Each structure stands twice: as C-alpha cells, then as structure tokens.
Structure 1
Amino acid sequence: MKLKDNSPVRQGWSLGDRNPEFIASMMPYWEWFYRYYFRVKTDGWEHIPTEEQVLLVGSHNGGLASPDTAMMMYDWFRRFGTERLVYGLMHQSVWTINPDLADLAVQTGAVRAHPKMAIAALQKGASVLVYPGGAQDVFRPYSERYKIELAGRKGFIKLALREKVTIIPVIAVGAHETLMVLGDCYQQAKQLHEWGMLPWLYNIDPQVFPIYLGLPWGVGVGPVPNFPLPISIYTRICPPIVFERYGRKAANDRVYVDYCYELVRSKMQQELDQLVMDSQQDC
C-alpha cells in the first residue's frame, strides 16, 4: 500500500512512527478549530498525573469526523507538549478505506486497535487513548447523544487489569450535535447484503448504517465521512477509576471484568449527566 507520492503507508504496527515535529506543525490548524470553530471549553485536566501513564477511555461523538477526539488531543499536546507519549487506538479499516488519512493519523500517534499495540505502548511508558464504543458510539442516534455507549466491549478493562494501569474517562458534550443521526438501519442493510443486493464498501462490515443530517451531504446514508457543524464543544477529563484488584488473574475473571466494566460505564454516565447540566448552565 502506497501514498499518492508513491511512499509507503505507515501501517500502525510501530510505535516509532509517531512524529512530534509533524504534531507541532499541525497545532496552529487545530488551534483555529479549537478557538474559533468549536469554541471549546474544557476542564478536569488536573486529574491526569504529571508523569504516570494512564488509560484514557472515551466516548466519542459526531460521526467519522469525531471532532471532540481531535480537540481532546489538541488539549493534551498544548498542555503536556508533543514529546509526552500518548497513542490512540484506531480501527483497522481506516488503512483500507483511507490510507492517506491513516498515514497522517499514525504520525500523530495512532496505532492499530490491537491488544499487542496497546500493551506495547503501555510497556513503553506511554499513555493510551481508546474509544471502546467504536462505530456504535460515534453514530448513536441523536436522541441518545447524552448516553455512554461502550458497546459491551471489555478488552480495555482486561488491558487495564493486566497492565495495572489507571483508567481516566474522557467525555464531551456538543460534538454529537455537529450532525444529527436520525437512526440506524443496519439490520435492513445487512439483510440486503445477505441477499446480494448491497455489497459492503471495501468488503468491510460497517456494523452500523446510520441515516443522518449534516454536512456536506445534507442527508447522509451509511457510515460516510462528514464535516462537523460549528457547534460549541465542552470536554471533561474525569476523576481516575482505580479497581480493587489487578493482574492476570483479575483480567481472566469474567465476573470481575463485568463488574469493572459496569463500574466504568456507570461512572462515565454520571459524569456525562453532570457535564450536560454544567454546559446548560453556562449557556
């Protein structure tokens, strides 16, 4: 796989492809969106320790654009500098669908959403950012914009337990209003696919098939890229979540993993409910 200039695409399997100089070159562009387009408000950064690595667990919003993710990363770099290591787990399909975008993301710290990459990053002393909810989260209906959706994925819990790392939730309000997801017709699309009437793009099961209102399409059908509307975004770094037990034995205990998952989900929901109230009072 190669880029338009015939250079090879960085595949996200190496921690060494992160490029602090490239990140620094992007900061002025991110700053413009941060200050003038999304008019970001943020708090809670005191919860991130100065030196200790953490597992940042987020709920992201706003379709494939996911503007709160970019704004959160801009805040990290402007507060901690481009040299402090943080890696974000990115879905493997991005390399197939948009290799140019994948290559740029890798230079800012994206790696494959694979356990071995997350473990390698943590063992290197880096922090890791993960969005367990994936497509189900980023394209959840507008009516559920204030709902934490982790899609039942518990790999991040096992990772935190096995590597003995603290979880810090990251949440946002406003980003899910940069487009309006009317609903998900995935089951209907899947049936058409099974009948041979709707081939999956790049032969990748999208897991969701939303219908939404937003730019640039007006009406978007399917998990297609979007350009976010200029809605104000409020992000928050939540207090750390520390479990009672850690280690491989804890990570292999299904009942305990389920308990930890529900603890994280419920605390994130409580924090999001509070952030909604805070953002409404600021209006």
Structure 2
Amino acid sequence: MAHLAETPFVDWPAVRYAELIKLDRLAPRVHLVKLADASETRMVAKYASGDSAKGNIGKEINILGRQQLHPSILPVECIILDDNNCVIGMGTKFVPGGDLLRNKDRVFKLKWLQQLTETLDFLHFKQGIVHGDLHLGSLLIDEAADRLVLCDFSRAREATEMNLMEEFWSVMWTLYELVTLDFEAEEEQLQKSYAKYGIYSLDTESIEKLPSWPARTKLDCDAEILRSYMREWLKRRVETLQFVEPREPDPMTSFSRHGEHQCEEPTHGCQWGAKTTRLN
C-alpha cells in the first residue's frame, strides 16, 4: 500500500506491525493481537493480501474511515505500518462474542436481524454501497451491547441495481443457513446455475419455495417469524431500488508486498507512535 504520507490518514492513530504481539490466528491475514503497554486490551489486526481476488483492504480502510459512524458497523481503530511507514493493514475492536459462523450455540434474536436490515438500509441509501460479502462470518455479535455488528468491507462496491439484488439474495441465504445450518444447499444452487446458464447465480427461489425451514439453531422466536420479516423487508427494498444513488468506493494504491510477508510472525514488544488509539 502507499506510504503513510501519501494517504488521507496521516493523522490517524497508528501502530507498527513489528510492535504487535500475536495471540491467535483468526483467519488468513487476520490475527488477534495485543499491545505490550496495554496487556488487557486486544484488537483484531487485518493485513493486506497480494491477491486482489481476496479483497482490497485499502478500499476497506477508505470506506470505514470516511463514512458516517454507525453502531452496527465495525470501525477502524488504527492503521498498521511496516518499518518503512507504508500502510499494510488496519486494527479493529475485538468483539468477544465472535461471528455467527464460529459461535452457533448462542440464541439468535429477531432484534439482531432487524439491526442487520437497518444497517443495510444505511449502507445502500446513505452511503450508496453494498457490503458485497454477506455471510455468517461477517456478522459479529457484541453481546455487551446486545447488537449485531457488520464487518469486512473489503469487497464493498457501488449499489447498482444488480449489486443490490445480489446483496438481497446473500442476506436471505445467510438467514437460511443461520436457521437451518444447511451449508450445502447454496453450493448446489451455484452448481445448478452454472450447469444451466454457464454462470454462478445465487437467487433465492430454491429456498423460498420450501414450505418451512427446519430450525437447527437456537432462536428467540419461531423460524417463520424471521423468514416473514425478511420477506417483507426484501419486498419493500426491491420496490425502492430506483431511490438508491450508487457510489463507487474509492480505491487506494497497491499494498506493500513487504507487509504481506511480514504479517505471519510478529515480533514481541509494542510501542505506540505519536497518536493514541481508542481500544474499548
């Protein structure tokens, strides 16, 4: 990525990669870390990838750094620099409740689904973008705040009619998988679409025509209440497509390959730069 001085984030809180202590590997290029001078404070460090197909973290920092704050969108807490002052990643608040994919034992609440759709309304109408990668792993639960939190905006893009429809299909499939724990139906749908049309399409016809969704996870209401709520929201939203003004997320320059290589094994010891970040 660009040298810090070449970005809009010169005055942002920053920490050097070599000064982070890795506690756990949550996903490829995503680590749970801590700071030596704040032993009780943890954050999630997300690093750049040389593979653009895996998302553009520079675009993600731009989106999260420039949009309005929202209680159900995980903000950037600090940026991560390599030894040459190049931005190689970002740090976000660690949410102990984890995502919906890893923690399937909690009771999922109707209010969390309502928070998700309200957040998508905010993104689509106020920001003009779609999240672009909705799935159980991008939905966190902040149990202390009793709130669903949306993360991972590396594939966000402008809210065109087609992108919005794909977002709607994704959120319906996400709800289906949350309720049923059926993770094979989506792949079957994609393969059938490719065999028939030569493209991977993920509409919701196959799951919508089911008379009921077998609930294999814990819910605070009947599964059909969640399904009915989603249907009504989607119906309203399809009717409002023409009122969305799409905005192309601004990309940033390429990442430093130096940072991509370094992020596998941080060295211990930590010292903040000139700015102090908030890590609640």
Common topology (TM > 0.5): no
Higher RCO (CA 8 Å, separation ≥ 6 residues): 2
> What's the TM-score once normalised by structure 1's chain length?
0.28
Higher share of residues assigned helix? 1
Higher alpha-carbon Rg: 2
> What's the TM-score once normalised by structure 2's chain length?
0.28
